[in-house]
């Protein structure tokens, strides 16, 4: 999937991703995983910042969304992004294992869900879904 250029100019073929996680360690790891796959990525620390960055006009091929975050959690952020018409692949990434909690997250508009910790093989399986 071709990404829109950052400044709305020439389209780049490089995939782009947004990491949404309030935990520094997880942001570092997810950033490195994406970097190693050649995916340009930025990180924000909660769901509100994820919504705000989209409101500023930026879009991403992939959003890695944590569930539990302060200010705005991943469920609410996913819901709002979908209501805004954002059709990017949103993959929920969380340590939650209760079916009810995961179902609520998925029903908010996820395309995929992976239990943390996120590994290279899990990330590749998410990306394969983008590429169909």
Q: Which residues bind another protein (CB under 8 A)?
A: 22-26, 28-29, 32-33, 36, 68, 94-95, 116-122
Using CA atoms, how far apart are residues 9 and 22, in angstroms rounded to an integer?
31
Q: How far is the CB of 26 from another protein (least distance, A)?
A: 6
How far apart, in Å, are the Cα atoms of 110 and each of 11, 12, 38, 39, 86? 26, 25, 23, 20, 11
Q: How far is the CB of 52 from another protein (least distance, A)?
A: 22
The DSSP letter of residue 113 is E
Q: How far is the CB of 66 from another protein (least distance, A)?
A: 8
């Amino acid at each position: 999937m071709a990404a829109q250029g950052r400044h709305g100019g020439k389209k780049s073929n490089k995939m782009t991703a947004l990491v949404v996680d309030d935990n520094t360690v997880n942001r570092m790891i997810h950033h490195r995983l994406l970097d190693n796959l050649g995916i340009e990525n930025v990180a924000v620390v909660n769901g509100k910042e994820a919504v705000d960055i989209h409101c500023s006009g930026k879009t991403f091929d992939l959003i890695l969304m944590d569930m539990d975050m302060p200010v705005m959690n991943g469920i609410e952020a996913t819901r709002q992004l979908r209501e805004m018409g954002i059709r990017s692949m949103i993959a929920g990434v969380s340590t939650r294992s209760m079916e009810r909690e995961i179902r609520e997250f998925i029903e908010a508009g996820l395309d995929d869900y992976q239990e943390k910790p996120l590994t290279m093989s899990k990330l590749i399986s998410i990306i394969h879904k983008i590429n169909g």
